Amino acid sequence: MIEVEQFRKKEHDIDPVFINRWSPRSFSKKEVPEEVLMRIFEAARFAPSANNLQPWRFIIAQKKEDLERFHSFILEGNLIWCEKAPVIAVLISDKESGAHVFDAGTAWGYLALQATKEGLISHAMGGIDKEKARKVLNIPNNFDVQIAIAIGYQGDKVALPENLRAREYPSSRRPLKETIFEGEYR
């Protein structure tokens, strides 16, 4: 397993879950117990949302036939690594809420942090055919398809194609001084 501290240096004392959360691509085929899976979605359920509208919904696949349907709309560059993930979720959000994209992103963040706490990995993918996902999953038009999320236990990076093995480490973050500005943008 990767030693995250080797790649990520914190500037202030924060909970380790924030440092340890990253997006590996190598998944083990080990099944995720239902109780553990529901805890990560329970965390997402408690994400804040504008006017408490909670516009996000998750459509999940765990069964072989459902996973194969989900694989049909995941682009090749992602499918090559995520096809081993035992769970894939598609995050959608109700467009009738003005902050639906922001709120759905917050729900994804809560899910990702709880997954880390549970010893799971999660990897969000924008590389999906959203219109095909809409058709395959029967998603109503008032919902936007946001992302797909691979969820499971981390596998060995040697299972990845060579070009992805080299990228299988936590990414760094820009310094805080480049992220916040006081008074005005500089």
- pTM: predicted TM-score of the whole model, two decimal places: 0.94
Q: Please, which residues bridge with residue 27 across strands? A: 154
Q: What is the pLDDT of residues 71-91, one digit of tens each?
A: 999 999 999 999 999 999 999
Dihedral over Cα of 158, 163, 164, 167: its sign:
positive
- What whole-number distance in Å separates Cα of residue 20 and Cα of residue 18? 6
Where do the structural domains in the chain lie, given as residue ranges? 23-166
User: Residue 82 has which token pair?
Assistant: 């995520």
The amino acid sitting at 144 is D
- What whole-number distance in Å separates Cα of residue 94 and Cα of residue 81? 29
CATH ID of 23-166, from 3.40.109.10, 3.50.50.60, 1.10.260.40, 3.20.20.10: 3.40.109.10
| Residue among 60, 72, 184, 55 at smallest CA distance from 128 | 72
Under a CB-based contact definition with an 8 Å cutoff, are residues 61 and 67 in contact?
Answer: yes
Residue 12 Cα distances to 15, 18, 20, 133, angstroms = 10, 12, 15, 41
What confidence score (pLDDT) does residue 1 get?
Answer: 53
| Residue among 66, 87, 71 at smallest CA distance from 152 | 87
What confidence score (pLDDT) does residue 130 get?
Answer: 98
User: Residue 61 has which token pair?
Assistant: 């696949």
The amino acid sitting at 111 is L
What confidence score (pLDDT) does residue 6 get?
Answer: 76
Q: What is the pLDDT of residues 131-142, one digit of tens each?
A: 999 999 999 999
Residue 97 Cα distances to 20, 47, 51, 91, 103, angstroms = 32, 15, 9, 15, 9
Write out residues in the chain with pLDDT < 50, as ranges: none
What confidence score (pLDDT) does residue 34 get?
Answer: 98
What confidence score (pLDDT) does residue 2 get?
Answer: 61
Residue 94 Cα distances to 5, 40, 115, angstroms = 38, 21, 24
